[in-house]
Amino acid sequence: MSEFADVVRRRRMTRSFSDRPIPAGVLEDMVRLAVRAPSAGKTQGWHLVVLEGEDTARFWDITLPPGRRQRFTWPALLDAPAILLPFADPGAYVERYSEPDKEATGLGAGPDAWPAPYWTIDASMSVMTLLLAAEDAGLGALLFGVFKGESELRVELGVPAQLELLGAIALGYAADAGHTPGRSSGRADRSPDQIIHRGGW
């Protein structure tokens, strides 16, 4: 198996962490790989807000207040030493596509002119690369939805209004039970036959 296939197959969402800190420089190395993801017009219009150590409480206190933690399925998710919040910036794409080499596309007119949100597509590809880079660095990660408290969180962290939050990434070393499967894990991988439509639908 190639190293690439090995990393892809090994990566699984981690939902229980040890509080061991992430060594200095590892996050920066991961981000250096994530910026190699494809990016429309090489805009690279994404950002990561990073909370580390005790600062992660600023995320959890808003999105999972203490009163709701007893019933939470993954208590050791809160031990993750870092929470990364990936944001996509539509404005960066509008600006980039207003430059002379992209002007003819008309996409500089504003986000509504775009047939697909390239900022979300690009940021998602970078996030995928981050998840693989985490696996390659021996770290576990969980990408999860921020279903509660996003507005309050944005105020707490001073995030500019135009940025779009993709979700949250818990990052750190897996606890022994780190790879306890999520509720959807029993679903089989779809086969190539189910996905490939040769010559049309």
Which residues make up the interface to ligand FMN (CB under 6 A)? 12-13, 15, 143-145, 167, 182, 184-185
Task: Kindly state the tokens that stand for 34.
Answer: 């994530």
Q: In sequence order, which residues have a C-beta less than 8 Å from that of residue 93 and are 6 or more positions away?
A: 40, 41, 43, 45, 107, 111, 114, 118, 119
Nearer to ligand FMN, 12 or 154 (CB): 12
DSSP run (H or E) holding 33: helix 26-34
Question: What would the two tokens of residue 142 be?
Answer: 């969980």
Pair of tokens at residue 182: 């999520």
Radius of gyration (C-alpha) of the chain in whole angstroms: 19
> Which tokens go with 160?
């500019």
Closest approach, Cβ 69 to ligand FMN, in A, equals 15
- Residue 10 vs 42, nearer CB to ligand FMN: 10
State the amino acid at position 147 in one-letter form: F
**Shortest gap between Cβ of 4 and ligand FMN (angstroms)?**
16
Q: Rounded to the nearest whole angstrom, what is the least distance from the CB of residue 167 to ligand FMN in the complex?
A: 6
Q: Tell me the C-alpha distance between 31 and 178, whole Å.
A: 23
Nearer to ligand FMN, 112 or 189 (CB): 189
Q: Which is nearer to ligand FMN, 5 or 104 (CB)?
A: 5
Task: Choose between 65 and 145: whose C-beta lies nearer to ligand FMN.
Answer: 145
